[in-house]
Chains A and B, each alone.
Chain A
């Protein structure tokens, strides 16, 4: 290896504040639409109506997040992992999916779940402690949240291998060809399971799109702790394409995800998308980011707000007026009220249901322990 290459390899790559020259962007932080030769076509057919609905989704999921935070502070949730700042990455990628595509989220993809049609209450169940998940992944092709970092990358890959075994890749039939998308963060990129998933997905040409939201922080550790090179470049080492997109730009995220999903459906998977974004809040409500990052950094990212830039575009291009924006805000208020109401009224299941659903087939230990529990409970009533 030449000295020059070695020197380049050892030169630490700073967290490029603006995402660097490779980052795909279609909408600047100032709300200016900019052209890109490869990706314009994916947004060309978007109508003003579509863009207004993007805006609505962004506002509603930011409200969902704010309510989750508040409900935790009020003691109604045990924990809340905030998505603040990552709305465009989630809505843009989520809206690019087809109904028959399949999603493997982390525990922060409340926005993706929302645009998949999940009941917004679903996101709250786990954190309220009424179930460890609680939904049927097949209803909206949206898998359960996975908390063990990166473990879902292998599930997504195996699922995609199954899609290929089913022959649902590269047929040219848009109702049949299927892609799988797997969400994870910059911290997860260090996990063995994510790297194994890259190897498996490449070996078996799995129709999976790995969607890494690089929000710059894994709890208290900056992304430089996870990687020397920009994360999207990791894909090259595994033999598949990687692309960095401005994760705060809903148009670019939508376009790049469309492209990658199409590639996967056509049999050219896997692919990696690094959505370059920022975690504006804490990792979860149990975290205190003032201990490890400076407020100037957060202030700087406020200028790249994903909602503000779309609002600017809509207003500037005359695609939406004040009445529309006020209407969305009112809808968000109603949405929030329903969310709070649903959350505090969520039912806690009876104790004896703890033994349900552990096994699909009869299991003597489950039955014996449930019976013993019920007898124990009944003994108090008899005593009364």
Chain B
């Protein structure tokens, strides 16, 4: 046991370090990740300890980051790419959806693509455009990829290690506005508490199920605490895995509560909530007491940062969604 209070960002750093110590084939590649330690300092100190060949400062070209990582994976390495910000992943889109995702299938299983693409995502940090986006649905839509998002320091620590151990490509979304959140946990724990592709019921409840991932999980927990004071019992689920979707956990919860509110920062149209809503409707038609409610970003480009609080789901909008579900 080594109980420590660690930030979410540092938890990822520690997870990367453990993965690199455990497997010499793990290499990191991204912009400014060497001496600087990345713009969010997630790789701080790693180049000093593991060298320039394993912590690679890449030229400023995202398709190049992912495309060369494909080649390294073919050579037997386990590359971990850092995309500096969510809105900068699009130059690498072809490499991710046409190359990374399909390589194994095209070889009829002869080759594998063990790589992780880390993306800090979401808003709330007052940045200019392209620095606050939530592009996860594009990747969850693409077969061949796995997509996960962490929400708290302890999960970040073991999830990044499991993602690197996975023989499939994993898109790893990090809630950038939660990088500085701290939590105490056993940092020496070697075995993961559960599978990377399972959801976590963070709080049990009986009236409404509140489901989300990444940065909104903390807001959901605060909402549930506020609702409890008003006598509403909310079950909170951290989805963690966006693809594959841990639908059984969601269905079991909705069968109990009869109501589901899905929260994410990404725009609602064809977002994760749309798919989850469809699957829950298919599986829980007779148990649902209300339509599935979505509390998501508006269907507009991410707004200027002075307006972002109006765009992002916050405690009040989440509770409004809960009220709407309860009104049926």
Contacts and interface: CB of A to CB of B under 8 A. Distances in A.
Interface of A: 131-138, 143-144, 146, 148, 151, 153-163, 165-166, 192-193, 196-197, 199-200, 203-204, 356-361, 363-365
Nearest to A136: B110
30 contacts: A132-B102, A133-B106, A133-B107, A136-B107, A137-B74, A138-B110, A146-B99, A151-B99, A155-B74, A157-B67, A158-B67, A158-B75, A162-B75, A165-B53, A165-B72, A192-B91, A196-B61, A196-B63, A197-B64, A197-B68, A200-B64, A200-B68, A203-B59, A358-B143, A358-B144, A360-B109, A360-B113, A361-B168, A365-B243, A365-B245
B244 A159 contact: no
A200 B168 CA distance: 25
A357 B102 CA distance: 10
B137 to A, nearest CB: 16
A118 B61 CA distance: 34
Contacts of A197: 64, 67-68
Contact of B94 (A132, A138, A144, A151): A151
Given A132-B106, A361-B168, 8 more contacts: A131-B108, A134-B106, A136-B110, A200-B58, A200-B59, A200-B61, A360-B104, A360-B114
B64 A199 contact: yes
A148 B70 CA distance: 15
B34 to A, nearest CB: 13
B63 A159 contact: no
A365 B59 contact: no
B75 A159 contact: yes
B108 A133 contact: yes
Interface residues of B, number: 48
B94 A148 contact: yes
B301 interface: no
Interface in B57-87: 58-59, 61, 63-64, 66-77, 79
Given A133-B107, A144-B107, A356-B109, A155 B98 contact: no
A156 B74 CA distance: 9
Contact of B71 (A148, A161, A199, A357): A161
Residue with the greatest number of chain B CB neighbours at <10 A, chosen from A197, A204, A358: A358
A154 B146 CA distance: 22
A153 B166 CA distance: 26
Contact of B27 (A134, A135, A165, A357): A165
B105 interface: yes
Contacts of A131: 106, 108
B73 to A, nearest CB: 8
Contacts of A357: 104-105, 107-109
B110 A156 contact: no
B178 interface: no
B18 to A, nearest CB: 20
A178 B74 CA distance: 15
Contact of B95 (A151, A165, A358): A151
Contact of B105 (A132, A136, A138, A151): A132
B71 A157 contact: yes
B107 A134 contact: yes
Contacts of B294: none
Interface string B30-74: 000000000000000000000001001011010110111111111
Contacts of B310: none
B222 interface: no
A356 to B, nearest CB: 7
Contacts of A137: 74, 107, 110-111
Contacts of A151: 67, 94-95, 98-99
A357 B108 CA distance: 6
Contacts of B63: 154, 192-193, 196
B74 A359 contact: no
B157 interface: no
B167 interface: yes
Contact of B67 (A155, A363, A364, A365): A155
Contacts of A196: 59, 61, 63-64, 67
Contacts of B131: none
Contacts of B144: 358-359
Contacts of A359: 104, 144, 146, 168
B112 interface: yes
B70 A155 contact: yes
A137 B71 CA distance: 12
